């Protein structure tokens, strides 16, 4: 066991949800971060903010300000020598920041670290007079050609993640009804968790039927997802975590039953451009991240008491739970997930970490936290434990990218404008705010599998759209033709 001054522990967590309806009274993003940090300090017994040697915040989209970190320190009246902000608002970022803080404490570089993340998207949207603001992570904006994404409607995560959902359903050998039943169960259980979480954005339990049935309030977004199946970014939320050394925690008189030990983490990524993935029915990097985290901490999956499996869309916890062997009916979240707990873009896992700390203080010993970012590109997993873990020695190298890269078989080349025979690799259908179909999109492979292409299904082609959405047949793996149109689109028609 390392010396107590090199063992990272969490001593305080704080969460703040601002439901204020009056725009002039609602907090901006910095105000939310400050409120959450003050709550974390109170949770830790007070006095920790002034002792902080570092502050790192998750990059945010609302009320963007390159000096937001400095504004937080000014509001709090603190002067940490190390301040930083995540490189992009990715869902894995809070886990990464926690792992980095543990490394710095383990290396003796600092003793008290603050981590915070939040968004005031709801307030900013109201003040600017437009609908819910949501934008894709900036790494994806840089790496995927903009005209291509506009043409085929693949701009936002809500339109891309269904490609994974439909591909995994076929790979799992599920019918559409069976896959939807699994999604409804996982999401219903998550809503029950959120209903018991005083910091959740939506504190209401939903039945699987309510989640799966399209209504005016639960409109279809992109097949097969309804509104109650996607991340809810229209929130004003922030969370914060205080990490210190075991020696400092004990010296400050923090009770032993309030301490949560930070375990080892593991990270690995897929290509930033989702068109360069080897497939849509699995994630090698997710597998490496989850399995390596368990191995590093010498904890078996069946020894996990609680998990937080990132839940922007059902396909992510579906994939993760299969890697872990986690039952569908057992909660995959401790805070309620991104639909009900709240989905503040890159910051949801701050709330998950805070709730995991609170959960472990009451029951169990081992809690796994898995974060996913980008377009299911980035993965970072870490372990939190109620008791000290002799295997958790810091600093550690959490980068397992080379292992993930070595396990890949290679991606097909993308061919823009391909026309000819092909096979459906995955697909989805998009809907407007009234629930009307706008068009569908097919990700196809050439017959020999060597090339990948995109094609549209026009809204007026009702027969093809029915083939894709009724569940009477499995579209993935079926053949068809891609045709070039006079306006430059490639259109798909099944055989």
Angle at 127 between CA 69 and CA 146, to 5 degrees: 75
CB 119 within 8 Å of CB 61: yes
Rounded-to-integer distance, Cα 293 and Cα 296, Å:
5
pLDDT score at 139: 40
End-to-end CA distance of the chain: 64
pLDDT score at 126: 87
pLDDT score at 397: 98
pLDDT score at 1: 66
pLDDT in tens, 107-134: 999 999 999 999 999 999 888 875 444 4
Burial class (CB in 10 A: 0-12, 13-18, 19+), 218: middle
Rounded-to-integer distance, Cα 189 and Cα 454, Å:
36
CB 468 within 8 Å of CB 457: yes
* Strand pairing report for 54-57 and 112-120: parallel
Q: How many CB atoms lie within 10 A of CB 419?
A: 15
CA dihedral 356, 310, 197, 40 (to 10 degrees): 50
Rounded-to-integer distance, Cα 381 and Cα 372, Å:
9
Per-residue pLDDT of the chain (495 residues; tens, 9 = 90+): 689 999 999 999 999 999 998 888 899 999 999 999 999 999 999 999 999 999 999 999 999 999 999 999 999 999 999 999 998 999 999 999 999 999 999 999 999 999 999 999 999 988 887 544 444 333 444 444 567 778 899 999 999 999 999 999 999 999 999 999 999 999 999 999 999 999 999 999 999 999 999 999 999 999 999 999 999 999 999 999 999 999 999 999 999 999 999 999 999 999 999 999 999 999 999 999 999 999 999 999 999 999 999 999 999 999 999 999 999 999 999 999 999 999 999 999 999 999 999 999 999 999 999 999 999 999 999 999 999 999 999 999 999 999 999 999 999 999 999 999 999 999 999 999 999 999 999 999 999 999 999 999 999 999 999 999 999 999 999 999 999 998 889 999 999
CB 12 within 8 Å of CB 44: yes
């Amino acid at each position: 066991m390392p010396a107590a001054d090199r063992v990272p522990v969490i001593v305080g967590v704080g969460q703040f949800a601002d439901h204020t309806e009056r725009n002039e009274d609602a907090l901006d993003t910095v105000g939310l971060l400050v409120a959450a940090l003050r709550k974390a300090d109170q949770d830790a017994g007070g006095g920790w903010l002034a002792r902080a040697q570092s502050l790192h915040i998750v990059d945010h989209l609302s009320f963007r300000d390159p000096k937001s970190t400095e504004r937080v320190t000014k509001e709090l009246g603190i002067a940490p020598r190390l301040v930083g902000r995540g490189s992009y608002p990715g869902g894995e970022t809070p886990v990464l920041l926690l792992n980095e803080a543990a490394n710095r404490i383990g290396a003796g570089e600092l003793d008290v670290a603050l981590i915070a993340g939040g968004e005031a998207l709801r307030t900013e949207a109201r003040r600017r007079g437009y609908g819910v603001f949501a934008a894709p992570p900036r790494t994806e904006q840089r790496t995927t050609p903009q005209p291509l994404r506009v043409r085929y409607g693949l701009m936002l995560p809500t339109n891309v993640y269904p490609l994974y959902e439909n591909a995994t359903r076929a790979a799992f050998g599920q019918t559409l009804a069976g896959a939807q039943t699994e999604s409804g169960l996982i999401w219903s259980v998550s809503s029950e968790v959120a209903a018991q979480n005083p910091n959740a954005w939506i504190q209401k339990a939903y039945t699987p039927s309510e989640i799966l049935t399209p209504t005016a309030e639960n409109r279809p977004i992109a097949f097969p997802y309804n509104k109650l199946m996607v991340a809810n970014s229209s929130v004003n939320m922030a969370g914060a975590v205080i990490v210190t050394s075991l020696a400092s925690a004990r010296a400050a008189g923090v009770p032993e039953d309030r301490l949560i030990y930070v375990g080892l983490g593991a990270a690995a990524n897929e290509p930033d451009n989702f068109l360069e993935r080897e497939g849509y029915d699995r994630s090698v990097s997710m597998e490496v991240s989850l399995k390596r985290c368990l191995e590093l901490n010498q904890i078996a999956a069946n020894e996990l008491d609680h998990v937080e499996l990132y839940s922007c869309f059902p396909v992510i916890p579906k994939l993760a739970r299969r890697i872990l062997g986690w039952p569908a009916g057992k909660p995959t979240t401790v805070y309620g997930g991104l639909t009900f707990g709240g989905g503040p873009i890159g910051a949801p896992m701050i709330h998950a970490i805070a709730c995991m700390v609170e959960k472990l203080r009451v029951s169990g010993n081992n809690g796994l936290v898995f974060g996913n970012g980008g377009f299911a590109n980035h993965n970072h997993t870490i372990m939190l434990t109620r008791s000290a873990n002799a295997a958790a020695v810091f600093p550690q190298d959490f980068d397992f990218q080379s292992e993930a890269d070595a396990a890949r078989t290679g991606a097909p080349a993308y061919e823009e404008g391909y026309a000819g025979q092909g096979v459906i690799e995955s697909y989805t259908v998009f809907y407007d705010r009234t629930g009307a179909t706008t068009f569908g999109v097919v990700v196809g492979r050439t017959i020999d599998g060597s090339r990948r292409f995109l094609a549209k299904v026009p809204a007026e082609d009702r027969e093809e759209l029915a083939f894709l959405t009724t569940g009477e047949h499995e579209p993935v793996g079926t053949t068809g033709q891609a045709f070039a149109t006079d306006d430059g689109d490639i259109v798909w028609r099944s055989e």
